[in-house]
């Protein structure tokens, strides 16, 4: 009996956690060229001698960038499985 209760409690808590994370996914607002990553930045602090070296995000934690965080000027797409991945800057003429 106790094993079933523990099992169902664990499953319920896991589902609640996944639901919380799924609901709180944030669109990226900035990108880091040095690490080829994006993040939702709520603010910045000085790091690596850069005023925008640390992206502050309460939900997922702070992210560091040696080249400094830059505002995403247009959608950023990641390609996976084709042998290429990274940050691509796109506009009405296509992606670079």
* pLDDT score at 49: 86
Q: How far apart are CA 77 and CA 49, in angstroms?
A: 29
Contacts of 56 (CB under 8 A, 6+ apart): 41, 42, 43, 44, 45, 62
Across 25-32, average pLDDT: 82
Each residue's pLDDT tens digit, 40-95: 899 999 988 888 899 998 888 889 999 999 988 765 555 544 555 555 555 445 45
Domain residue limits, the chain: 27-95
């Amino acid at each position: 009996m106790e094993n079933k209760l523990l099992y169902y409690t664990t499953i319920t808590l896991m589902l609640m956690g996944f639901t919380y994370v799924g609901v709180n996914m944030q669109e990226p607002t900035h990108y880091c060229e040095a690490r080829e990553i994006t993040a939702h930045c709520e603010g910045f602090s000085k790091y690596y001698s850069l005023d925008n070296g640390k992206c502050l995000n309460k939900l997922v934690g702070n992210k560091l960038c040696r080249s400094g965080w830059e505002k995403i000027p247009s959608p950023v797409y990641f390609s996976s499985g084709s042998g290429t991945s990274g940050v691509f800057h796109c506009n009405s003429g296509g992606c670079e």
